Amino acid sequence: MKTKIFTGKEDLIQAARIINQGGLVAFPTETVYGLGADALNEEAVGKIFQAKGRPGDNPLIVHISRPSEIGQLTSKLSADLVALIDQFWPGPLTFIVKKKPEVPRITTGGLDTVAVRMPDNPLALELISRAGTPIAAPSANLSGRPSPTKASHVREDLDGLIDAIVFGEDCRVGIESTVLDMSQGTPRILRPGVITAEQIEAVIHRKVALDSSLLTENKEEGSLEGQKEDSSAPRAPGMKYTHYAPRAEMIVVEGPRHKVKEEIERLKKVNEKIGNDVGVILFEEQAFIEAAHDFFAKLREMDEKGKDIIFAGALSYRDGVGFAVMNRMLKSAGYNIVRV
Ligand code: TXA
Ligand code: MG
């Protein structure tokens, strides 16, 4: 298949036509690039799983262009949900809600809930609105690879496998949306993102829970203990699969900042001596937003440069954004952690 490259707003008419005909179009959002298909067309959604090599029980996020369109996907909106939509949409916050029967099971990985979000990107909103249908879109990478934050990343992974790519700017946020389960009882964060539990709590005036796959009971403030893999079944099915893995082996070095730097220097030297090409990922202290923005692009850069081994300095996070970046970093490294 020849993948069309669309670069202008005027191309969105064609892109929307492809969606309406059951094809696949990758497009930019503020978080990462998405791989879109008509969310209500089973056959079209099936092609997403095929192109990405994505397991069929990993549900997709459905993207809409106006808050009111959520009514096509779910029937009851709680007061909390309405308040959160008002505050955070368009933006990097996805809600899990009970689905209407019209939403095909293939879109929700067989679940009776659906994930919904209104992205904050003009090209994305125009594409969805022109298509006149909600668009299901996971991140536009091959399953298991780092999420794409530039159009060139999408091309790297999916050229020849999908109908078109809408080339937009590099993604502003750089990590995927916060996923918040609003389908039962206490709202629960299933995947952390740049919209934090504290920000959500400030709007709904009640506690938000973190899914057990993200936290353990004895979590100490700022410690990685809270982000160990957990044997209990995660509620966001996607969280259980290998994620974001660079081709190189990756190791996270955790500890006080100066010690982390020293240890990475030492490990680098030792590894270079035995002929390894070593990559280092070390963000400025407390620069969580920048870390989110750059992290996935850095992983891909390491692959491009053919690094054999990557040492990444753990962020000593004090806020939810740092926590969200560490979630990605630990997954990329397969929970390979050295403590100093
Ligand atoms: O920022 C984002 O969210 C990007 C852009 C393209 O919007 N999309 C994205 O989609 O990251 P994806 O498919 O890579 O991740 C979706 C996550 C997965 O962890 C999936 O398991 C979870 O959301 N999810 C989707 N529907 C769900 C549901 N009904 N119940 C629980 N988790 C769900
Ligand atoms: Mg993904």
Give the SS3 label for residue 250: strand
Q: What is the pLDDT of residue 213?
A: 87
pLDDT, tens only, 87-133 = 999 999 999 999 999 999 999 999 999 999 999 999 999 999 999 99
pLDDT digits (tens, 9 = 90+) for 238-291: 666 668 889 999 999 999 999 999 999 999 999 999 999 999 999 999 999 999
DSSP, residue by residue, 121-162: -HHHHHHHHHHTS-EE--BSS-TTSPPP-SHHHHHHHHTTTS
**Short-list 170, 127, 183, CA closest to 6:** 127
Ligand index nearest the alpha carbon of residue 92:
1
Spatial distance between the Cα atoms of 225 and 206, rounded to a whole number of angstroms: 25
d(CA 174, CA 147): 8
**Helix, strand, coil % (nearest 5) of the chain?**
35, 15, 45
Query: Ligand 1 within 6 A of 60 CB?
Result: yes
Indicate the residue type of 103.
V
What is the distance between the alpha carbons of residues 33 and 99, in angstroms, rounded to a whole number?
24
Q: In this model, does residue 229 exceed pLDDT 60?
A: no
Reply yes or no on whether the pLDDT at 143 is more than 70: yes
Residue 339's beta-bridge partner residues?
254
Mean pLDDT, residues 137-160: 97
Cα 91 to Cα 195: distance, rounded to the nearest angstrom: 9
pLDDT of residue 220: 42
> Once rounded to an integer, what is the mean pLDDT over residues 167-180?
98
Q: Give which of 59, 86, 83 is closest to 73, Cα–Cα.
A: 59
Q: 219 falls in which pLDDT band (50, 70, 90)?
A: very low
Q: Where are the beta strands (DSSP E) in the chain?
A: 4-6, 25-27, 34-38, 61-63, 93-98, 113-117, 135-136, 164-166, 178-181, 188-191, 209-210, 249-254, 278-281, 309-313, 337-339
β-bridge mates for residue 62, sequence order: 116, 136
Query: What distance in angstroms lies between residue 4's CA and the mean position of ligand 1's atoms?
Result: 25
Ramachandran region, residue 62 (left: φ > 0; alpha: ψ -120 to 50; beta: rest):
beta
Q: How far is CA 21 from CA 37, 39, 51, in A?
A: 9, 12, 17
- How much distance in Å is there from the Cα of 184 to the middle of ligand 2? 24
Question: What's the CA-to-centroid distance between 256 and ligand 1, angstroms?
Answer: 33
- Where residue 221 falls among pLDDT bands split at 50, 70, 90? very low
Q: Note whether 115 and 95 are within 8 A (CB).
A: yes
Q: Whose CA is nearest to atom 12 of ligand 1?
A: 138
Residues 6+ apart with CB under 8 A from 206: 80, 186, 187
Q: Which atom of ligand 1 is nearest to the CA of 108?
A: 29
Identify the residue whose tokens are 């809930």.
113
Assess whether the C-beta atom of 236 lies below 6 angstroms from ligand 1. yes
The predicted pLDDT at position 218 comes to 35
What is residue 8's predicted lDDT score, i.e. its pLDDT? 85
Classify residue 219 by its DSSP letter. P
Average pLDDT over residues 319-335: 94
**What pLDDT does 69 receive?**
98
Residue 34 scores a pLDDT above 90: yes
Average pLDDT (201-208) is 98
Question: Among 68, 243, 54, 51, which Cα is nearest to 164's?
Answer: 51
Q: How far apart are the CA of 164 and the centre of ligand 1, in A?
A: 21
On average, the pLDDT of the chain sits at 93
Q: How far apart are CA 256 and CA 64, in angstroms?
A: 43
- Rounded to an integer, the average pLDDT of 130-153 is 97
Q: Give residue 231's pLDDT band: very low, low, confident or very high (50, 70, 90).
A: very low
Who surrounds ion ligand 2 at CB < 5 A? 139
Whole-number Å distance, alpha carbon 50 to ligand 1 midpoint, is 17
Could you identify the residue written with the tokens 């916050």?
93
pLDDT surpasses 90 at 9? no
Answer yes or no: is the C-beta of 106 below 6 A from any ligand 1 atom: no
Mean pLDDT of 15-23: 98
CB of 192 within 6 A of ligand 1: the answer is no
Tokens 């970093």 belong to 329
Q: 222-226 long-range contacts, Cβ below 8 Å, gap at least 24?
A: 222/316, 222/317, 222/318, 224/252, 224/254, 224/314, 224/326, 224/330, 224/337
